[in-house]
Amino acid sequence: MPYLVINKKMNKYYILILFLLLPFFSLAQKNNELLDWAATATQEKDYQAACYYYQEYIKQSDSLKTYVYSLYSNALRLSYLYVEAEEMFEKSIRLDKKNEFPENYFLLALTKKNLAKYEEAIELLKKYKNFQLKDNSLYAKRLSIEMEACLKAKDIINDTLAVFIEQLESKINTPYSEFNAIQLSDTAIYYSAIHPITTNHNVRVIENFYLSMIYMSYFEVSGFSAPKPISKKINNSKYHNANFCFNKNKDKLYFSRTQNHKKTSIWVSELKKHKWQTPKQLPAPVNVKEYNNTQPHIVRIDEDTDILYFVSDRLGGMGEMDIWYVIIHKGQFGEAINLGSNINTPGNEITPFYYPPTQTLYFSSDWHQGLGGYDIFKAKGAMSAWQNPENLGFPFNSPANDIYFTINEVDTDGYFSSNRKEAYSITNATCCNDIFSYEWIKKEKKYQIDTIFAKDTLSIPFLLTEILPINLYFHNDEPNPKTMDTTTQKNYKQTLDEYVVLQNLYRNEYAMGLDESEKEKAIAQIDDFFNSYVLKGYDLLEKFTSLLLKDLENGKSVNITVSGFASPLFSDAYNRNLSLRRIESLRNYLKEYQHGVFIPYMNKSNKNQLHIINVPKGKTMAKEYVSDNPNDKRNSIYSMAAALERRIQIVGYEEDTLYKNHEIAFAYPDTVLNFYPTSDITHYVKYIQIKNLDKDTVKIEGIFTDSKQIELQTENNILAPNTSTFIKISFTERVFRHTSSPLLHIHLKTSTKTKELTLKCVFNN
């Protein structure tokens, strides 16, 4: 019974009386009475009863009156019977030939929104807009909000939060309504529920009488214990009792109480000698007669002061149900104050929960931009000073109603209630609320960090200290076996591809003849060699080649020293020539890199040049334990020890010249900044080097960018002539969701002027 979750009142005895008296009425009188009772039920906000009356009227009168279908449709919507409401609204619109009830377009749009049919909802809202040019109703005021909410809905859903949500087990959740869950330490959960307490076997129209009560269940190894109602002094069967909260010391329980069709009020019971005492109704200004006062939430300020947040439809509010607060100082209740227009709207704001550690109010609203009916929102502040609310996001919020958000005392996880499709229900997927737990997925921050140097200040030798020496491995007697040649046409990438294909051969040969346990070790050793040595060496070569190219493009000449090694199967002379062929394959790799980009630098006529210095070596450098027996192929060819010797090694890197460009005051990277978002990276950091090329010292007095999602910091704000510093650019993965290929404008404010650095950022999705 989802409406009761909010309003806590239900009494359908008069439906039973109606059913018993129907035979005594004339048909016309009976039909008029049905419409009157439907109107009364709607006014009482007992929408399920109203649905029954309208349905009976339509059956018995065979009516096609548009206004009746319109009222029936909206009663279905307010009963959260969205599928049925959608069908009836569409029928109402078809019957309304003269467009006398344009609000049906708006209400059908809300129903479509509850069914996650956002595009259809937008089209209906557009039609409604054409009808209500002079309309000052709440629907008209809400139109732009709902239009924007539907447009943003898919983005909110796609921006899924890192949280695990689970429906509580069937011991807690039933086909009826459960809501308002609060966990006490790690021992128990308390919650409200509306369950049937009697069954009428004689009357089919009304099978059950429902009552809301407060329950508790202990945490056990196997799950929850069987729930039990708490003290009968609180769960008095004459009333609906729900919407509770505990004070800081857990010795007071505040809750809502409703009797029949009377207004709801807030009560408190004290715990003395482990027993709950007879509750007392809170005084004015908390409870105001003739108005609903419900959903209390109390927050400790200090030893003498509490703030009681609650919900009321009293005069002086912003709309229907508003959130209010009173200050309780030494037991005395202050004035009731509305939270203000940042929180409260012309609609309904309900189920407040305040979390002191972050000074954040959580509440639900059917007016602020959301995914469905009621969405959960959060806003920082206190009492009547609040920031603008933010939608809590998906999957907390759904196209249905999401309410009663709470946070546990022992961690940052908690509970909320929803009538989303996963909820258990009696007859309809969205008729009743269930309790859902949520647990934040502890997402470890993982950083992708790069350093990009200014065009004329790139220090490649410094960067290479972490990756040199680089070992590049070869198969036995490759390339060009059984020859004394010192050159080859192959490049290193070709020899590598041919080598990797032989991995299974190495596994079989090295494991041959071994027992199972030793065989597994041998295979693992070969796999480790190919992954951790052969392929890793090529990865390092690619990084090395990229840095080398940048160095040459910045006007430097570079000398690379490469040593060659071989296994001891052949003579020293043969191995020296083999090493030269292997070094030549590296030279060929550089010549063919990016369609020959290095060839000009290998030309002697070029101003800055690339030199590769060969240092071939023979078997004298091989380890003593490496076999040199050609008949023992297992150990001389396929063993890891032998394979490790068949390599060349980039061991040296020297720069000869440096050309400087003094045309601008700052030197900075002019290359594209590439970003590669991945599922495990949460934060990105780029260090951008800038250099002062001016003759005077420059003081950077400020640094900023146009994007609010990017943080900038400088390592050093005072730059002497010809000195450098770094700009740290930081942002999270969320930037990728809203940006394609922007220009990043970084503004450096100095004592004399502001310099703009423009960097192109490409987000490679």
The CATH superfamily label for domain 660-763 reads: Immunoglobulins (2.60.40.10)
Residue tagged 């203000």 (tokens)? 340
Give the E-state strand segments of 313-446 in sequence order: 322-329, 332-333, 337-338, 349-355, 360-365, 375-382, 385-386, 390-391, 402-407, 414-418, 434-440
What's residue 763's pLDDT? 67
CATH classification code of 166-440: 2.115.10.20
What's residue 122's pLDDT? 93
Burial class (CB in 10 A: 0-12, 13-18, 19+), 120: middle
Structure tokens at 363: 């509440």
Lowest mean pLDDT among 40-54, 551-565, 680-694, 744-758: 744-758
CB 562 within 8 A of CB 654: no
Q: What is the mean pLDDT of residues 145-166?
A: 90
Domain-wise residue ranges, the chain: 2-157, 166-440, 474-655, 660-763
Lowest mean pLDDT among 92-96, 120-124, 219-223, 454-458: 454-458
What's residue 365's pLDDT? 96
Q: What is the mean pLDDT of residues 499-528?
A: 93
Q: What is the mean pLDDT of the chain?
A: 83
Buried b (16+ CB within 10 A) or exposed e, 133-169: eebeebbbebbebbbebbeebeebbeeeeebebebbe
The more confidently predicted of residues 732 and 523 is: 523
Start-to-end Cα distance in the chain: 46
CB 322 within 8 A of CB 338: yes
CA 12 to CA 51: how far, in whole Å? 12
Which amino acid, residue 506?
Y
pLDDT tens-digit readout, 421-480: 765 555 555 568 999 999 998 767 777 777 766 655 546 776 777 788 999 999 999 999
What's residue 44's pLDDT? 81
What's residue 80's pLDDT? 87
3-state DSSP assignment of residue 406: strand
What's residue 681's pLDDT? 75
Q: Of 96-105, 266-275, 682-691, which one has max mean pLDDT?
A: 266-275
What's residue 324's pLDDT? 97
Q: What is the mean pLDDT of residues 183-207?
A: 71
Structure tokens at 383: 């009492």
Q: What is the mean pLDDT of residues 728-746?
A: 69
| pLDDT over 50 (residue 574) | yes
Q: What is the mean pLDDT of residues 479-503?
A: 94
3-state DSSP assignment of residue 515: coil
What's residue 765's pLDDT? 56
CATH classification code of 2-157: 1.25.40.10
| pLDDT over 80 (residue 715) | no
Counting every residue, how long is the chain? 765
Omega cis (within 30) before 395: yes
What's residue 529's pLDDT? 94
**pTM metric for this prediction:** 0.59
| pLDDT over 80 (residue 373) | yes
Q: What is the mean pLDDT of residues 341-366?
A: 96
If phi > 0 it is left, if psi is from -120 to 50 it is alpha, else beta; for residue 122 that is: alpha
Buried b (16+ CB within 10 A) or exposed e, 566-588: bbbbbeeebbbbbbbbbbbbbbb
pLDDT tens-digit readout, 50-68: 898 898 888 887 767 888 9
| pLDDT over 50 (residue 9) | no
What's residue 679's pLDDT? 66
CB 192 within 8 A of CB 204: no
Q: What is the mean pLDDT of residues 337-359?
A: 95
Q: What is the mean pLDDT of residues 237-259?
A: 94
CB 585 within 8 A of CB 490: yes
CA 612 to CA 492: how far, in whole Å? 15
If phi > 0 it is left, if psi is from -120 to 50 it is alpha, else beta; for residue 72 that is: alpha
pLDDT tens-digit readout, 606-622: 777 888 988 776 544 44
